[in-house]
Amino acid sequence: MKKMPKLSEKLKKDKKLLLIVTAGILGIVFIVLSEVIPKSSYEKTETGEQKKDTVSSYEETLEKRLESIISYVDGAGRVQVMVTLDTSVQTQYAKDEKENSKNGDKTSEKSYEKKYVLTDEDSGVVLT
């Protein structure tokens, strides 16, 4: 028990030691708090996934309703409808293909080049 008064006296005299001990205590408090906080963030991601399912099912419902309505129009024939809402994600890839071939005396050379055009909401068009 004699060590405790000595420690408190050292902390009062040495400000660097006081700062180190305070930082250690705050670190322990943050570690304990981090055990509680992730539970609420997991719940938020689950509701986000549920929201995606809801949007997807809403899109499918709209597609079916539009297909049935448009199929009743005279001359429409077989109908397929695709609905994409602003909140949903759809990825489409565009390709730029180039093919060269040369035929010579007993040798032939063929080269093939493919470029994919990718788009991103923030950066725009990216060629790969």
**What's the distance, CA 7 to chain centroid?**
50
Q: What are the sequence ranges of the domains in the chain?
A: 15-127
Q: What is the pLDDT along the chain (128 residues), one digit of tens a residue?
A: 566 667 778 777 888 888 888 999 999 998 888 777 766 555 555 555 666 678 788 888 999 999 889 888 888 778 888 887 776 565 656 666 666 667 766 666 666 677 766 666 655 555 54
DSSP letter at 126? E
Place of tokens 């994409």: 84
What is the C-alpha to C-alpha distance for residues 78 and 80, in angstroms, rounded to an integer? 7
* Whole-number pLDDT of residue 23: 92
The per-residue pLDDT for range 1-30, each reduced to its tens digit, is 566 667 778 777 888 888 888 999 999 998
* Whole-number pLDDT of residue 86: 74
| H or E element that contains 22 | helix 15-71
CA distance readout (Å), 40 to 5, 30, 35, 46, 51: 42, 16, 10, 10, 17
DSSP letter at 88? S
User: What pTM was computed for the model?
Assistant: 0.32
Q: Which two tokens stand for residue 52?
A: 């995606």
